Amino acid sequence: MRKLKLQVQMSVDGYIAGPNGEMDWLVQNWDEELQNYVQEITDHVDCIVLGRKLAEGFIPYWSSVAANPEDPQFEAGQKFTETHKVVFSKTLKKSEWDHTVLAENELSEEINRLKNQDGKDIIAYGGATFVSALIRQELIDEFHLFINPAALGKGLAIFNELDSRKTLTFIKSTSFGCGIVVLRYELNRDK
Amino acid at residue number 99: H
SS3 track for 8-62: EEEECCCEEECCCCCCCCCCCCCCHHHHHHHHHHHHCEEEEEEEHHHHHHHHHHH
Q: What pLDDT is stored for residue 76 in this prediction?
A: 87
- What does the pLDDT read at residue 103? 94
Taking every pair of Cα atoms in the chain, the longest distance, rounded to a whole number of angstroms, is 49
Beta bridge partners of 121: 45
pLDDT at 189: 83
Bridge partners, residue 10, by sequence: 147
Which numeric CATH code is attached to 29-188?
Answer: 3.40.430.10
Sequence-distant (≥ 6) Cβ neighbours of residue 60 within 8 angstroms? 97
Spell out the domain ranges in the chain.
Answer: 29-188
What are the angstrom distances between the C-alpha of 89 and each of 12, 22, 110, 143? 29, 22, 12, 23
Task: Give the integer Cα–Cα distance in Å for 97 and 113.
Answer: 22
Return the bridge partners of 98, or none.
Answer: none
Q: Residue 93 has what pLDDT?
A: 87
The pTM of the full predicted model, rounded to 2 decimals, is 0.92
43-89 pLDDT tens trace: 999 999 999 988 888 898 889 999 999 988 888 889 999 999 999 99
Q: pLDDT by residue for the chain (191 residues), tens digit each?
A: 999 999 999 999 999 999 999 999 999 889 999 999 999 999 999 999 999 988 888 898 889 999 999 988 888 889 999 999 999 998 888 888 889 999 989 999 999 999 999 999 999 998 999 999 999 999 999 999 999 999 999 999 999 889 899 999 999 999 999 999 999 999 998 75
Question: How far is Cα 151 from Cα 66, in angstroms, rounded to an integer?
Answer: 33
